[in-house]
């Protein structure tokens, strides 16, 4: 999943980034509202961590812009301002959660996990489709409890598709999820197609259903009625 951290305290922003990247999230940083607007306009995000007290604007003013350009993003307000009026304003504008400073990074992670489970309708850490399941905590992919060996990037790609089931994801979205804002040295433009092919090949002996649909000229969609 990709997260935008909008926080003017640079040391805190980088601490959050470091922690979440160890938990396998892709993170971008914005230290003011202007930088946040640039990111929001051009990049798709799953979560936006939004500080209210930005140096050039009230962070709440960014929420309508987030809804316009990143309608699927979930917003967690992180701020030292703990007054009830701020919370009410944030929730009325469409924020999904509110975390006052100082906060535990573990608590932040738990909040993200809780919202993810609500968003995708999953209980605990298991995501199931057919007889397959993904354990998002252990990062294990199984068929009837038989582990299926995926590389890290194959796992990241499959879990991202599954968590965005029935939604078309273009190759750029998938690429940025796997490689982040800065592509690794081994990046190649057709790697997404290669990874999808490998995932299908590993799933086929267990179930040859066409779970991952190719959307010609665009990207891919994980299709499930469950």
CATH class of 126-222: mainly alpha
Note the pLDDT of residue 182.
Answer: 45
Average pLDDT over residues 44-48: 90
Average pLDDT over residues 15-19: 95
Domain limits, the chain: 2-120, 126-222
Q: What share of the chain is helix, strand, coil (3-state, %, to 5)?
A: 40, 20, 35
Note the pLDDT of residue 147.
Answer: 94
Domains 2-120 and 126-222 alike in fold: no
Question: Which residues neighbour 40 within 8 Å (Cβ) at sequence distance 6 or greater?
Answer: 4, 48, 62, 65, 66, 69, 70
Q: Is the pLDDT of residue 71 over 90?
A: no
Distances in whole angstroms, Cα of residue 175 to Cα of each of 26, 41, 135, 171, 206: 11, 18, 22, 6, 27
- What's the mean per-residue pLDDT of the chain? 86
Fold (CATH) for 2-120: Rossmann fold (3.40.50)
pLDDT per residue over 90-139, tens digit each? 888 889 888 888 888 988 998 888 887 776 555 557 788 899 999 887 88
- Predicted structure pTM score: 0.64
Note the pLDDT of residue 124.
Answer: 56
Note the pLDDT of residue 37.
Answer: 96
Orientation of helix 10-22 relative to helix 105-120, angle to 10°: 60
Note the pLDDT of residue 123.
Answer: 52
pLDDT per residue over 160-194, tens digit each? 898 888 888 888 878 877 776 545 545 555 889 99
């Amino acid at each position: 999943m990709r997260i935008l951290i909008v926080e003017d305290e640079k040391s805190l922003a980088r601490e959050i980034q470091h922690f979440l990247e160890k938990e396998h999230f892709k993170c971008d940083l914005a230290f003011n509202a202007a930088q946040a607007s640039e990111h929001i306009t051009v990049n798709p995000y799953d979560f936006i961590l939004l500080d209210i007290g930005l140096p050039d604007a009230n962070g709440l003013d960014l929420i309508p812009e987030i809804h316009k350009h990143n309608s699927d993003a979930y917003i967690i307000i992180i701020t030292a301002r703990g007054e009830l009026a701020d919370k009410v304003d944030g929730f009325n504008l469409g924020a999904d959660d509110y975390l006052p400073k100082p906060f535990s990074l573990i608590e932040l992670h738990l909040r993200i996990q809780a919202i993810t489970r609500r968003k995708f309708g999953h209980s605990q850490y298991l995501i199931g489709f057919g007889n397959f399941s993904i354990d998002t905590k252990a990062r294990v992919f199984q068929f009837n409890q038989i582990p299926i060996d995926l590389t890290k990037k194959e796992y990241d790609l499959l879990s991202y598709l599954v968590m965005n089931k029935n939604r078309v994801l273009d190759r750029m979205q998938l690429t940025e999820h796997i490689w982040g804002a800065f592509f690794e040295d081994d990046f190649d433009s057709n790697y997404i197609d290669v990874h999808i092919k490998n995932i299908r090949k590993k799933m086929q002996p267990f179930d040859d259903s066409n779970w991952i649909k190719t959307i010609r000229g665009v990207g891919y969609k994980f299709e499930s009625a469950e």
